[in-house]
A and B are shown apart, each in its own frame.
Chain A
């Protein structure tokens, strides 16, 4: 009698736990479908090919046009600036922590560096808008250039700082996972420490480092608050980082915080942009996961 009760209990508990774990799957599909359906509705109103290739984004007027090219280019340029800041600094810090720093120093510095990742992005946004942007305007003025107060450079730099710990933390783990025998072999052949690092350790750790960089990239693409507060609203097709630019996330926020009706193309355009963002970040993430898996298999590490 009691054992039958226990069996039923076991089944019930397993079922409950399984239901709970399927919720995470439901969420992913919930995100995908909620965005997809609204995006399809948008593409019924406006053409998909113009959305991808058109250069004019003019919501809110009669005959509004939705060409997202300047938005994509703005996102791209701000992300590039962020990566130009984050990759050298992140990798440099990672190499210092894993190759040069003592165990004690590393254990002290790493949590401090990770504090940078824990600061809410709205705080970075405020900092970019109030401190960095005016600073860039002043510096540009002193060399005779004109910079916008919503320059892509300000948000790009601050965003780069924000993703530095993402890159450095994972790269540090990966570089440390490279077997010591490789370093010793190289040093025994008379290579200097920097030659060992640059031509032996880093190439070995490459898949993991690329994975870390991709993770940072997808974070930069999806970052919202910094660009909402510090970058511009105006879609602007230019390569000049001192001008104002807008990004996919800024336009999503702008489209949804206005008071247009929910079924207007202005509001629905946010979902079309969201769909693109979803697929781009998802594919970057998948590549990143594959890369790190390759690295793990090559060196048989389980700690990453």
Chain B
């Protein structure tokens, strides 16, 4: 029988099948688009960050004398004036102070080069004059000037001079801030979860707390910054820009994440464990503290690490409470002015010098690596300790 003779044959079928194909293609391509974007994004940042791996260094004589204590420029040959980093020269008196035996000696060593020289060597736009460029090319040929691994980036704090800027002070600020966050958010989050799952009765009080936690998770992060500014800084008088205020503000944001994941972990512990405990005469506190909590602990840890990872990437509320200050030295306590890695990324992204672009991208790579590390730890913990009841 021909199709046209079939009384049940739907003439629009061909069209309908074409439409189905188009629709499937649309859903497939939208997924592909997201994945392609992710790839493009990571490759783009990676390419921008790559040059920051190396930094230009120049191999020259450094003379430590009384004269160079007073004016550091005297420590190097005049012809290298434009080659050597000014920020490095400024450090020379400090070096002598720290190590007096250096005085009256001349040391030949690798010295940090200026960012314009560095950018020129990397083939980027540079403000160097033509004759300086020729000189740089000469130095490069004789291998006095080289791109070497950029140690400065990991061992220095922030600086207004691009070649001297590093992430150390912001890393230490990040660690201090996150310690405060976890000290506050972890116990309170876990206690709230235990109360809601194990002790509370389903009454109005519990419902209000539950609705609240849901809402808290949906409040834009910047509003937590307003809270931190108005309450922690203006009402309680805590020091502005400090890791204490930053940590507390982030703790408030991390709290709902920890509560929700801890509740899920507690709910995963089967009731038979509790009933067994009660059957041998344990009190509720003993059952929860001795049996339910240890069993739920891996799940609680996983959730807390994910919460920690989110707190690590947060910037907006920290800007509001002033954690974008210029911090060249490492903070030593939670009361010192500090900055965190995402805030450092933000400040560097706003710098006019081109050399900061690669620094920013490199700092992003460091931040993303830490995030991936944290999240994989969370997944590993979950896989390792996951119990199938």
Contact = CB atoms under 8 A, between A and B. Distances in A.
B28 A25 contact: no
B349 A274 contact: no
A90 B37 CA distance: 13
A74 B314 CA distance: 24
Nearest to A23: B188
Contacts of A60: none
Interface in A77-97: 88-93, 95-97
B339 to A, nearest CB: 12
B112 to A, nearest CB: 25
Contacts of A28: 212, 215-216, 219
Contacts of A123: 45, 313, 345, 364, 367-368
A9 B288 CA distance: 13
A207 B28 CA distance: 24
Give the contact-size bracket for chain B: 35 or more
Interface stretch (A48-56, A176-184, A187-195): A187-195
A200 interface: no
A116 B230 contact: no
A229 B349 contact: yes
A229 B324 CA distance: 14
B31 A120 contact: no
Contacts of A225: 315-316, 346
Contacts of A115: 38
Contacts of B227: 27, 30-31, 34-35
Contacts of A125: 346, 349
A289 B214 contact: yes
B252 interface: yes
Interface in B199-255: 199-200, 208-209, 212-216, 218-227, 229-231, 234, 252, 255
B342 interface: yes
B382 to A, nearest CB: 12
Interface stretch (A61-69, A140-148, A236-244, A278-286): A278-286
Given A28-B212, A127-B44, A161-B37, A278 B194 contact: no
Interface string A20-44: 1111110110110011011000000
B342 A120 contact: yes
A118 B20 contact: no
Nearest to B19: A194
Contacts of B319: 228, 253, 256-257
A93 B27 contact: yes
A218 B218 CA distance: 8
Contacts of A151: none
B368 A193 contact: no
Given A20-B188, A25-B208, A96 B30 contact: yes
B86 interface: no
Interface string A246-262: 00010011001100001
Nearest to B28: A96
B104 interface: no
A35 B223 contact: yes
B223 A193 contact: no
Interface string B346-389: 10011000000100110010011001000100000000000000
A92 B33 CA distance: 10
A294 to B, nearest CB: 16
B20 A120 contact: no
Contacts of B312: 120
Interface string A157-170: 00001001100100
Given A125-B349, A192-B16, A277-B220, 6 more contacts: A20-B188, A24-B213, A27-B255, A221-B220, A222-B223, A224-B222
Q: Which 7 A-B pairs have the closest CB atoms?
A: A222-B220, A92-B30, A120-B313, A20-B191, A34-B230, A17-B195, A194-B23
Interface of B: 10, 16-17, 19-20, 22-24, 26-31, 33-35, 37-38, 41, 44-45, 48, 187-188, 191-192, 194-196, 199-200, 208-209, 212-216, 218-227, 229-231, 234, 252, 255-256, 259, 283-285, 309-310, 312-316, 319-320, 322, 324, 342-343, 345-346, 349-350, 357, 360-361, 364, 367-368, 371, 375
19 contacts: A6-B283, A10-B284, A18-B199, A21-B191, A28-B219, A31-B226, A34-B226, A38-B230, A93-B27, A93-B34, A116-B34, A123-B313, A194-B20, A194-B22, A218-B218, A219-B220, A229-B350, A257-B324, A288-B218
